[in-house]
């Protein structure tokens, strides 16, 4: 990536050009500028932002077009799809087919595995387009699928919680992110292909820490991708055992 961006252009853009705009003999402002500009310069040098789809360089702001340019947003086409994860989950919805919607797949992969947190802003645009459908869902509380504290520390954020935040902003519903606890650190579900093994790997891994928050309530359970639905179903089982009335699930994609 370093060689794709002209070093001289970057240095001129972030260090030299702004210095010429400063009043003469203002060394304090110059030192302050360098302290602020140098990290930006190094970030742009080693981690230039570019569109995941067309590979063109993109601006750093706004975050919604940093990793998917304005032109390529039109190729990220969501479809409100209802699927079945009965009997544990009463209603299940997703927006993309993980295998067929390749652009969505790239974005989710970068979001989840390449730790590009800003991609949540790309999906915020998608969720805003689904505002009417989201507001029609009949639920009381949003519960994101939790990460184990070890994985959360490694990743730096919980992608399911970021999705839940966007949905909460649209629906004005409470996000209860401490209701479910992931009790143990196990092999990631994505590394397991067989359904039976995935279901076994996820069994008894969650507990409900605050049953009073979900008792007799309809819960919107939020995750990034559903494959066999084993994780969603296990979370739904724990929530219903703890008093939840009904469970609706929402994921960005269905694999």
Tell me the per-residue pLDDT of 3-22, one tens digit each, with 9 for 90 and over: 444 444 444 444 444 444 44
Q: Tell me the backbone φ, ψ of residue 6, rounded to 5 degrees.
A: -65, 120
Does residue 15 or residue 249 have the better pLDDT?
Answer: 249
pLDDT at 201: 75
pLDDT at 29: 54
Residues 6 or more apart whose CB falls under 8 angstroms from that of 31 comprise none
pLDDT at 15: 45
Instruction: Give the chain's count of helices (H) and strands (E).
Output: 10, 8
CATH of 78-254, one of 3.40.190.10, 3.40.50.1000, 3.40.630.10, 3.40.50.2020: 3.40.50.2020
The pLDDT tens digits for 114-133 are: 888 989 999 999 999 999 99
Average the pLDDT over each of 98-102, 152-156, 166-170, 199-203 and give the range with the smallest value.
Answer: 199-203
- Give the 3-state secondary structure of residue 33: helix
pLDDT at residue 30 tops 80: no
Does residue 111 or residue 49 have the better pLDDT?
Answer: 111
pLDDT at 199: 75
Average pLDDT over residues 245-254: 97
pLDDT at residue 46 tops 90: no
Average pLDDT for the chain? 84
pLDDT at 217: 98
E strands, 76-170, are: 81-83, 91-97, 141-144
Where, residue-wise, is CATH 3.40.50.2020 in the chain? 78-254
Phi-psi category of residue 202: left, alpha or beta, with phi > 0 → left and psi -120 to 50 → alpha: alpha
Average pLDDT over residues 220-237: 95
Provide the pLDDT confidence category of residue 92 given band limits of 50, 70 and 90.
very high
pLDDT at 32: 57
Q: What is the pTM of this model?
A: 0.80
CA distance linking residue 14 with residue 41, whole number of Å = 6
The pLDDT tens digits for 71-85 are: 999 999 999 999 989
* Element at 153 (helix H, strand E): helix 149-155
By percentage, how much of the chain surpasses pLDDT 70?
81
Average the pLDDT over each of 10-19, 158-167, 184-193 and give the range with the smallest value.
Answer: 10-19
pLDDT at 44: 56
* Element at 223 (helix H, strand E): strand 218-226
Average pLDDT over residues 26-39: 52
Provide the pLDDT confidence category of residue 50 given band limits of 50, 70 and 90.
confident
pLDDT at 6: 47
């Amino acid at each position: 990536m370093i060689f794709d961006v002209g070093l001289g252009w970057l240095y001129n853009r972030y260090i030299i050009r702004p210095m010429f705009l400063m009043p003469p003999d203002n060394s304090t402002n110059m030192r302050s500028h360098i302290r602020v500009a140098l990290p930006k310069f190094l970030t742009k040098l080693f981690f230039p932002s570019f569109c995941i789809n067309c590979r063109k360089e993109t601006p750093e702001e706004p975050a919604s077009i940093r990793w998917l340019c304005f032109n390529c947003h039109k190729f990220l086409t969501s479809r409100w799809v209802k699927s079945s994860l009965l009997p544990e989950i009463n209603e299940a919805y997703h927006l993309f087919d993980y295998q067929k919607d390749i652009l969505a797949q790239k974005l989710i992969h970068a979001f989840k595995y390449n730790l590009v947190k800003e991609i949540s802003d790309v999906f915020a645009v998608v969720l805003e387009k689904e505002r009417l459908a989201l507001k029609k869902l009949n639920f009381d509380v949003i519960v994101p699928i939790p990460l184990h504290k070890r994985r959360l520390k490694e990743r730096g954020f919980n992608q399911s919680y970021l999705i839940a935040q966007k949905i909460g902003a649209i629906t004005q519903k409470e996000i209860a992110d401490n209701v479910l606890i992931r009790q143990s650190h196990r092999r990631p579900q994505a590394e397991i292909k067989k359904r039976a093994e995935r279901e076994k790997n996820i069994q008894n891994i969650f507990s409900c820490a605050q049953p009073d928050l979900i008792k007799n309530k309809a819960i919107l359970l939020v995750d990034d991708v559903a494959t066999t639905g084993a994780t969603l179903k296990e979370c739904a089982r724990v929530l219903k055992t703890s008093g939840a009335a009904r469970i609706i699930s929402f994921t960005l994609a269905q694999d």
